[in-house]
Amino acid sequence: MTAPRQAGASPPARSPAALRLYVQVIGAVGALAVVQSIAALPRAPHPLEWAAFAFLALATGSFTIRVASIEATMSASDTFVITSALLFGPAPATVALAVDSIVMSWRRGHGWTRLAFNAVAPALSLWMAARVFFLIAHVPPLSEGHASAGALIVPLFCLTSIYFGLNSGLTAIAVGLEAKQSPAAIWRRHFLWLSLGYLAAASVAFCVILLIQQMSLGAVAVILPVVAVFHLTLRASFGRLEDAHQHVVQVNRLYLSTVETLAMAIDAKDDVTHSHVRRVQAYAMGLARRLEMTDEAELKALEAAALLHDTGKLAVPEHILNKPGGLTAAEFDKMKLHVDIGADILSLVEFPFPVVPIVRCHHENWDGSGYPRGVAGQDIPLGARILSVVDCFDALTSDRPYRRRMTNDAALDILRERRGRMYDPRVVDAFIETHLDIAPADLDVPKQREVLERITRSRHAAPSSEPVQSSPAAASDGVLAFVSLARLVSGDITLGDVIALSSNLILDIVPNASGAWYVPDAASDRLVVADAFGPEADTLRGSSVGMGERVTGWVAASRQMVVNSAAALDLGERAMLAHSPLSNCMSVPLIMGDSLAGVLTLYSSDQEPFDEQRGRLLQMIAPHIAVAIHTAVQASAAKETPLAGVKSPAAVRELRLVAAR
């Protein structure tokens, strides 16, 4: 039997520098051992016999058994390699093992660097182990003399231990450097149990030696059937193990797919953060490896928690999730509930690793000022400390309703400012050092994108025209007026007529409000105020906003309504120039089909927020306004008439009376 013959770690051009250096050093030392062995071959006893053993090693090495879960194989060749080392010395066995490893790697299509490493690492291990054997046993190669069985047991055990330890250890170090994991943990998890195979190969080799000493080299023919039966039995056992491993892999893949699907559904609710959880997961796993988190259960817990940390947002109203600007105290209290709610939901799932503590603590702060428990310092799970940093960074570098995404440098400056207060200093330092290396690649999955877009379209579809219970007194007349207006525009009507009439009707629904009608200007990719109404109309006229900027621009880009945002987030200093400073705003997209006709944004000087019921009413009638505006614009363009030109107050009253009738 043989142990792993391939490191599975071999160094493409982008491999870590430490891995490349390690492979070069082992390659150089191993090459010296192989070259020395080749030079010593002419002095080896019984050349025909050791050539026969080399052929047996090569032949049996072709019948490999794949070891489940790692890129390694086993075969019966080690029996003949160890026997050859005992009979003829280190040189023939080392050369035979190197050639066997080269053939195996070449058949698997490995690159030159990997092939070289896989050739010299086992050969170096056997060369050193065989030399220790003869140093301890104080005997010449056994083909030239006899030794008692008792005198061979301890040296043979040392040979087996050194051969196994070096061969598996060199491989584990290479895999660890490539995967950025602890080589010791990899060795314990994947290689330790393979020691039984080495012991079995050494035991069979010991029996072969005893038979040869009692009989002759022809005794090998007696042992070959035993080795073949043992190999076939082992092959069947490992085949069943491989089937079980593949089943586990498929179950894990299904589990991860289910987790990702749930995360995608949560992601779809928050239009601001599409793909947020997938980016956070990529950052979190990269940072965990950088911090040398090696516990498999903790890594899997972080992998799942990064996807599911926002599960509790299912219980948070959408107008709070997508609200531009700061939240009120009451709204923030509702938002904070998502942590415990998410953890409680996930606690119902019997995860085999600690996902729930990470989710419950990912908003805790290093100084204890976080929520929901006020946990501090090392009492916060490392996974949660990692998640909080990468979650913050991705949020800062993503678009938000009230601002465009920050640059990476600006976001890193904020992390530095919060270092030691909100975030673990060690985690922040590691992230700043490695964020470019662990940055996620393109995470856009076409099928997922299609589903998300379908969900978004369904959520942004025109709302039902069912009557709203307990609507304001003038609401029913207002709705009828807008429906009539949509019909009126088929006649001779201008955009000014539509805006003037609509403004008066809006004031019936939301008295004392000031409002601005923003329409798209394709030439500048901005929204300009076509007209304004209400007490602060003069303040609002003449303003404009970039598409996607501030509250109005974000509403236009996302096509979502915003209720009760701060007016200053939309108007800036202009909000304070009003006769009565404007405090709140409500913005409604005017959408006809797939086209944006404009945005209606209302402003209020009252400290009390806008009535959400009136907001729903405005959202219901918005499509009718959009149709009216679109038709008026088309009619004006056809007649080559100006798009503005507000009717006189008398004409507005006439239109209103006609619409009401």
For the chain, the residue count is 661
Please report, rounded to a whole number, the percentage of residues in the chain having pLDDT higher than 70. 73
Residue 514: strand pairing partners:
603
The pLDDT of residue 403 is above 80:
no
> Does residue 470 fall inside a structural domain?
no
Coil/strand/helix, residue 59: helix
pLDDT at 227: 61
> Does residue 238 fall inside a structural domain?
no
Looking at the structure, do residues 424 and 479 belong to the same domain, yes or no? no
Looking at the structure, do residues 295 and 164 belong to the same domain, yes or no? no
| Residue 525 DSSP symbol | T
**Structure confidence by residue, pLDDT tens digits, 466-501:** 444 444 444 445 554 555 555 454 555 678 878 888
Looking at the structure, do residues 99 and 215 belong to the same domain, yes or no? yes
pLDDT band at 572 (very low <50, low <70, confident <90, very high): confident
> Does residue 383 fall inside a structural domain?
yes
Report how many domains make up the chain. 3
pLDDT band at 82 (very low <50, low <70, confident <90, very high): confident
> Does residue 129 fall inside a structural domain?
yes
Strands of 595-604's sheet, edge to edge?
544-546, 526-533, 514-521, 595-604, 584-592, 562-566
Looking at the structure, do residues 374 and 290 belong to the same domain, yes or no? yes
Looking at the structure, do residues 442 and 483 belong to the same domain, yes or no? no
The pLDDT of residue 545 is above 80:
yes
Ranking 57-66, 393-402, 427-436, 543-552 by mean pLDDT, the lowest is: 57-66
Looking at the structure, do residues 56 and 91 belong to the same domain, yes or no? yes
pLDDT at 431: 95
Structural domain harbouring 637: 475-660
- By the 10 Å C-beta count (0-12 exposed, 13-18 middle, 19+ buried), 407 is classed as exposed
Higher pLDDT, 104 or 342: 342
Looking at the structure, do residues 22 and 113 belong to the same domain, yes or no? yes
- DSSP code string of 416-476: HHHBTTTB-HHHHHHHHHHHHHH-------HHHHHHHHHHHHHHHSPPP-PPPTT--TTHH
CATH code, domain with 206:
1.10.1760.20
Cα(76)–Cα(69) distance, integer angstroms: 20
Averaged pLDDT for residues 281-288: 93
* Gap between the terminal Cα atoms of the chain: 95
Higher pLDDT, 72 or 628: 628
pLDDT at 64: 60
pLDDT band at 329 (very low <50, low <70, confident <90, very high): confident
Neighbours of 97 (CB within 10 A): 35
Averaged pLDDT for residues 237-248: 68
Most confident range, picked from 384-393, 520-529, 535-544: 384-393
Cα atoms in the 13 Å half-sphere on the side-chain side of 464: 3
pTM for the complete prediction? 0.52
pLDDT band at 410 (very low <50, low <70, confident <90, very high): very high
Looking at the structure, do residues 115 and 224 belong to the same domain, yes or no? yes
pLDDT at 441: 73
Cα(432)–Cα(542) distance, integer angstroms: 44
Looking at the structure, do residues 223 and 283 belong to the same domain, yes or no? no
Neighbours of 3 (CB within 10 A): 23
pLDDT at 432: 94
Mean pLDDT, the chain, integer: 78
∠630-636-639 over CA atoms, to 5°? Answer: 140
> Does residue 1 fall inside a structural domain?
no
pLDDT at 519: 93
Ranking 108-112, 235-239, 403-407, 449-453 by mean pLDDT, the lowest is: 449-453
Higher pLDDT, 251 or 191: 191
- DSSP code string of 137-160: H----TTSS---HHHHHHHHHHHH
Out of 206, 228, 250, pick the residue that ends a domain: 228
Looking at the structure, do residues 335 and 449 belong to the same domain, yes or no? yes
Cα atoms in the 13 Å half-sphere on the side-chain side of 16: 15
The pLDDT of residue 252 is above 80:
no
Out of 457, 485, 500, pick the residue that ends a domain: 457
pLDDT band at 390 (very low <50, low <70, confident <90, very high): very high
CATH code, domain with 524:
3.30.450.40
CB 590 within 8 A of CB 516: no
Omega of the bond leading into 372 within 30 degrees of 0 (cis)? yes
pLDDT at 469: 44
> Does residue 364 fall inside a structural domain?
yes
Coil/strand/helix, residue 350: coil
Looking at the structure, do residues 491 and 451 belong to the same domain, yes or no? no
CB 431 within 8 A of CB 415: yes
> Does residue 244 fall inside a structural domain?
no
The pLDDT of residue 450 is above 70:
no
CATH code, domain with 430:
1.10.3210.10
Residue 295 is encoded by which pair of tokens?
A: 């516990």
CB 359 within 8 A of CB 346: yes
Cβ neighbours of residue 83 closer than 8 Å, sequence gap 6 or more: 53, 205, 208, 209
> Does residue 468 fall inside a structural domain?
no
Looking at the structure, do residues 434 and 503 belong to the same domain, yes or no? no
pLDDT band at 9 (very low <50, low <70, confident <90, very high): very low
pLDDT at 651: 40
Out of 228, 261, 293, pick the residue that ends a domain: 228
pLDDT at 65: 58
Tokens 């428990």, located at residue: 373
